[in-house]
Each structure stands twice: as C-alpha cells, then as structure tokens.
Amino acid sequence: MSDTADQQLQQLAYKTERAAAARLAARQQLAPAQALRQVLTLAAGQAGLAQLVADRQAQQQRSELRAQARNAALAQRSAQRQAACATSAPHDAQDSVADVQVWQGWFDGSAVPNPGRMGIGALLCGPQGQTIRISQPAGYGNSSEAEYLALTALLQAAVQAGVTQLSIRGDSQVVVNDVNLTPQAIAAGQGAAVLTGHRQEVCALMAQIGKVELRWLPRHRNAAADQLAQQALKLRPPAP
C-alpha cells in the first residue's frame, strides 16, 4: 500500500483505532501503518477495508457539511451582533472595535488506553504571526477529560498572552457542546455532570479573555493539535 493510502487510513481511523494500532505495533513489532491496516481490516469485517474507507469518507463529508452549516449560522449571528454594536457605539469606539484582531486556537486531547495516560495538545496563533504550541502529559483519565484539559491549557496561554478575542476549534463534540450550553440548559441539568468542574474552569477563563467563540470541526481538520497531543503521550511524565 502506498504512503498516500497509509496517510488516508491514518486520517480516517478513529482515535481508539489508532491507539489499538499503536499497542499492536509495539506488541508484535509491526510497522505503524501495517498495524493500523490490521486494526481497520478487523473493524471492517466482511464488508472489507475498501468499503470501510468509502463509508468513513462519506461520514467525513456529512460532518463537514454539518460543521459548515453550523459555522455559517454562528458567523451570521456574530455579524449581526457586531453590526448592532457598531450602530450604537460612538465613532471612536467603532474604530477601536474594527482594529481588534482575532487570535486563532486549536486543541486536542488523547487518552491511551481510554481511560489511561492522557496527552494534551494545543496551538495558539496571533494575528501578527505569534505562535504558541502546547504539548504535555496530563496524568490519567478519559478522552473527554483530556480534551477539556487541552482546552483549559489553551485558554490559560491566551490569558497570559493578553488575548481579548479568540476563535477556538476542537474535534470533541462532547466538550464543544458542553461548553456552549446555555445557562438555562445547565440549570435544567443538561451536560455531563462529571465534567462540571472542567466546564466551570473553562468558562471562567473565557470570561477573562472577553470574546471567545468555540466551534467543532472534524478530526481530520484538527491535525496540528492532534499531533501535539500524540507527541505528549510519548513524553515522560514529570517527577512527583
């Protein structure tokens, strides 16, 4: 199989499958690509690996279309709010709002196995070319906790950098949906109770920054943060 095909399988594999492939490669001394093919072939069953690839590609396309629709709706609401502010603000305030430039952030967290050792990764980019990379072990827990810890680390770095506007993307629907719950939904008991402490810390950090937008994106479009999280799993945990 070509390198391109191997890269395609890497992009289509779920985190749990990549973790299983890593364990298989270590146990049987296989090349990572060969181990991943074995894991995905087993997952495909009688339908075959080619059908699994076709199904995953179709699933990614549907996810991207849904994400584009959500992001378009968010962008429209944001534009409406900004237009309302610009209309009511004095002229000098309008100029200051127009001059504000938005930072961009991406985050990802992994747990191997799940639950298991956690690694977190995040990338923070400023409008003037500033770049902050985060890649570190994060103890023991599950994948949702790892994702939340990665988002927390990203926000902490943004606060330290003096960021006042931040657009964040992550591939964890659990975390993105949990953070974006309305106060009414939280009061009604929606959201993951075991993640309440993480949500509260994240919301407190967002409040320090000011304007923060958090969006979901498909995992294959979050490669930079994912790579930093995977690198973190290879690091030796800090001594107690």
Q: Does domain 100-233 have CATH number 3.40.50.1820?
A: no
* Selection from 99, 83, 144 nearest residue 118 by Cα: 144
Q: Give the pLDDT of residue 183.
A: 79
190: tokens are: 């929606």
Q: Give the pLDDT of residue 236.
A: 62
Residue that the structure tokens 């790579």 belong to: 227
**Centroid of chain to Cα 159:** 19
Q: Give the pLDDT of residue 2.
A: 66
CB neighbour list of residue 182: distance below 8 Å, 6 or more residues apart: none
**Separation CA 146–CA 150 (nearest Å):** 6
Q: How many CA atoms lie within 13 A of 181 on its CB side?
A: 22
Q: Give the pLDDT of residue 96.
A: 34
Omega of the bond leading into 240 within 30 degrees of 0 (cis): no
Q: Give the pLDDT of residue 76.
A: 67
Full pLDDT tens readout for the chain, 240 residues: 567 788 888 888 888 888 888 888 888 898 888 888 898 899 889 889 889 888 888 888 887 787 777 777 766 665 554 454 344 333 333 333 333 589 999 999 999 999 999 999 999 999 988 999 999 999 999 999 999 999 999 999 999 999 999 999 999 999 999 999 887 777 778 878 889 999 999 999 999 999 999 999 999 999 999 999 999 998 765 555
Q: Are 33 and 45 contacting, i.e. CB atoms less than 8 angstroms apart?
A: no
Domain spans in the chain, listed from the N-terminal domain onward: 1-89, 100-233
What value, to the nearest 5°, has the Cα angle with vertex 133 and ends 129 and 138? 160
Q: Which residues share a beta bridge with 110?
A: 119
Q: Give the pLDDT of residue 211.
A: 92
Strands 131-141 and 116-125: antiparallel
Omega of the bond leading into 127 within 30 degrees of 0 (cis): no
Q: Give the pLDDT of residue 239.
A: 54
* Selection from 226, 16, 15 nearest residue 122 by Cα: 226
pTM reported for the whole predicted model: 0.62
